[in-house]
Chains A and B, each alone.
Chain A
Amino acid sequence: MADAIGSLPPLDIVRAPEAGEIGPVQVSWRLALREFAENKLAVAGVVVLLFFVLFSFVGPLVYHGNVLHSDLSIANSPPVQGHPLGTDAEGFDVLGELMYGGQASLEIGFLAAIFAIAVGALWGAIAGLAGGLLDGFMMRIVDILLSIPFLFVVLIVSVRFGANVLSLSLIIGAFTWLVPARLVRGEVLTLRVRDFVSAARTAGATRWRLINRHLLPNALSVIIVNVTFNIADSILTVAYLGFLGFGLQYPNYDWGDLLNNGTNFMLDGYWWLIYPAGFCLIATVMACNLIGDGLRDALDVRMRRR
């Protein structure tokens, strides 16, 4: 079918692709959803992620842990009545802190991923559609930035500019849009020679409309899968920044910062300062990875074995 780009294809070909045609297969969302629902691990991931979203954002409305007034008389107390997960060195309630820390971790994860995908998808779509010199130039920029160790640059920039949720999300997003850009470009390259794109072009669609209405929606499956993995990676990146001491600044803190505080008391055996925060991080990141894997299996028809 690919030789029909120049000619005017009848529009109904879009609805009836020829048998054995290779290329990005149209995603059937209903089928994908069913496939996803059958994947127990992925569903467990959704449940865990939902739990932590509720825990962090609705939890503080229900459970009022003291995270504002330090009380050294109960500092570093193991779990007791009123403090189900004990207290930290300031006498703050650990469970309450986990809820607020979760807000920052999840917000940064989502914001950074959305920022990255917005920039990356647009960049990749423009490069893929433009082709030629512009494509080469845009993708060389991606190659260059992709060769530079991500954590190093993020650390250097956040020493200078880091501090709150928004700036850290922007910094992380500014260096994670590269992989989505590559993925979307690859997808657009195969999509742009398809008949429905030529049809839209002949019908007089502008480039912006082509990208916006025809290319990106069809590359959506790739985009969604990448967002889930990006969320997981961003949450971990902030945790690394927090551990190295260049993350959020008080009164903002994330799970990584809590974990980092806890590790100061490793020798004292204050397990409640370390393992709950570590568990939250691992469980959330793992849930995002499981969802991503599940989505990839469900959306990528080539992976569908059954």
Chain B
Amino acid sequence: MPVTAYLIRRCGTAVVILIGISIFTYLLLHIVYPSPARSVLGPKASLAAINAWNRAHGFSGSVFQQYWTYVDGLLHGNLGYSFKLNQSVAALFGERWERSAYLSGVSLVLSVAIAIPLGIYQAVKRNSVGDHVATTLSFTFYAMPDYLLYLVAIQLFAIIWRVFGPEGSQSASMTGVVLDWRDMTLPIVCLTLLVLAGYSRYMRSAAMDTLAQDYIKAARAKGLPERLVLYRHLARNAMLPMITLVGLSIPALLAGNLICETTFNFPGLGLLFFNSLQNEDYPVLLAYTLIGAVLTVLGNLLADVSLTVADPRIRLT
């Protein structure tokens, strides 16, 4: 039963944090953009008209009442309304989320799939030429502003050698986007390299910590072939911190997605966020911030739960 108790408590914390996040995003919205009335009714609207509009749309009354209207809307799936685009935020996100999920999802899976073997290789062959090359590359990518890598890649592969397209797929259908390898290769590969830079550094030190453990020595001492030591004992244990890391890195992944979509003009949520910044379309901005925060909380929750499943040594107290 301790697992159930732990899960209930962990979910309880998550709910508290979600409530806190809703308060934070609401207050931010309230401070930077108290009411859309002025931008809807125009600069010449009278004060009376603005007050009437505010009353009709739930922007009057005390902060608590307004917050309650906001939360009530959220719980009914109403993320807000973009008066600049004259469309509900939910509909805007519905059109675009698949593209962002595809771009980020593929890059994330690829980076994890490469980081684990690469980190183990670097830890086992510490200070070899391969380790030094990988470390240098990951330090460089890690220190690089994302867009510099994208721009260099665009210049080399799209402009000089003309192998790939200079911008992300503009196809209207999701199938079209997935099949459009010519335009999607550059964004996916570059984003993967950048995510990988952080993950592989982490994986290398996790694998090095695991290598120093006694059970590795024991496995070697009992004459287990090195290949089995690496697969059965090292890889399985060194992979565990990756679960937490992926959960923790969701805000960074969303930021990476934002820069990538902006640079490659790929019409996902990140590009929508960028365009909304330029239009000062705050309902969209805060709805995406809220979704990002919720994703982070869920990601951490999922990471913690899967870690208790994957690592039986974790004692739930």
Binding site for B on A (CB under 8 A): 140-141, 143-145, 147-153, 155-157, 159-160, 232, 236, 239-240, 243-246, 256, 259, 263, 266-267, 274, 278, 281-283, 285-286, 289-290, 305
Contact = CB atoms under 8 A, between A and B. Distances in A.
A244 B277 contact: yes
B288 interface: yes
Nearest to A144: B20
Interface residues of B, number: 45
Contacts of B259: 240, 243-244
Contacts of A283: 143
B41 interface: no
Contacts of A267: 159
A143 B304 CA distance: 15
B32 interface: yes
* Chain A CB within 10 A, most for which of B145, B259, B278: B145
Given A282-B140, A285-B143, A152 B288 contact: yes
Contact of B145 (A141, A148, A256): A256
Contacts of A266: 151, 154-155, 159
B95 interface: no
B143 A159 contact: no
A10 to B, nearest CB: 33
A255 to B, nearest CB: 9
Contacts of B143: 232, 236, 281-283, 285-286, 289
A274 B149 CA distance: 12
Interface of B: 13, 16-17, 20-21, 24-25, 28, 32, 139-140, 142-148, 151, 154-155, 159, 212, 250-251, 254-255, 258-259, 262, 273-274, 277-278, 280, 282, 285-286, 288-289, 292-293, 296-297, 300
Given A151-B255, A152-B289, A267-B159, A159 B17 contact: no
The DSSP consensus for interface residues of chain A is helix
21 contacts: A143-B17, A144-B17, A147-B296, A148-B251, A149-B250, A149-B296, A150-B255, A151-B254, A152-B273, A156-B286, A243-B147, A243-B259, A244-B259, A244-B274, A244-B277, A259-B145, A274-B148, A281-B144, A281-B145, A282-B140, A282-B143
The DSSP consensus for interface residues of chain B is helix
A170 B28 CA distance: 16
B248 to A, nearest CB: 9
B252 to A, nearest CB: 8
Contact of A240 (B32, B145, B250, B282): B145
B28 A153 contact: yes
